[in-house]
Amino acid sequence: MTDLLITLYPWTKALHIVSVVAWMAGLFYLPRLFVYHAERAEIGGPIDPLFQEMERKLLRAIMNPAMIATWVFGLMLALTPGIVDWSAIWPYSKAAGVLAMTWFHHWLGRRRKDFTAGENRLTGKRYRMMNELPTMLLVLIVFSVVLRF
């Protein structure tokens, strides 16, 4: 199994990067859709179903598969011999960032269900503030991996 992971390493790394980019695009865009949904669409109004459909498709067709692929390829990289120095701090800071990113993904999914049920309680300003979280986590993850602190 380890020989296979070593052989697949360049492909795994490339697929991991592509998956992360797709996931991050969704994590940046869905809260922005929530800002406009909260500020411009009345519950049951004419554009409410349009926002709900865009949010559902983004989450289900792009973000969920990208998150799963990111996790699968990331775990494959972590299990590839010689790639991760487990005595360093960076694998754990990266893992913390990825876990927080996953929590945020699920938090967004719950907020989408609030919109669907007509029960959104958050303002556009709150969604704007939450939209900063994936940027901070991205910085933590990239610095962890590249600088290997």
In degrees and rounded to multiples of 5, residue 5 shows phi and psi of -60, -40
What are the boundaries of each domain within the chain?
2-147
CA distance 4 to 91: 22
What is the per-residue pLDDT for 108? 98
Structure tokens at 144: 């962890």
What is the per-residue pLDDT for 1? 79
Question: Which amino acid is located at 58 in the chain?
Answer: L
The pLDDT of 79-105, averaged and rounded, is: 96
The pLDDT of 26-31, averaged and rounded, is: 98
Q: Which residues contact 141 (CB under 8 A, 6 or more apart)?
A: 94, 97, 98, 101
Residue 64 is given by DSSP the state H
Contact 62, 52 (CB under 8 A): no
Look up the pTM and report it. Answer: 0.94
The pLDDT of 31-50, averaged and rounded, is: 94
Q: Is the model's pLDDT at 44 over the cut of 90? A: no
> Could you give the maximum distance between any two Cα atoms of the chain, in Å?
57
Kindly indicate the confidence band of residue 149, based on its pLDDT and cuts at 50, 70 and 90: confident
In degrees and rounded to multiples of 5, residue 106 shows phi and psi of -70, -35
Q: What is the pLDDT of residues 118-131, one digit of tens each?
A: 999 999 999 999 99
Kindly indicate the confidence band of residue 2, based on its pLDDT and cuts at 50, 70 and 90: confident
What is the per-residue pLDDT for 130? 96
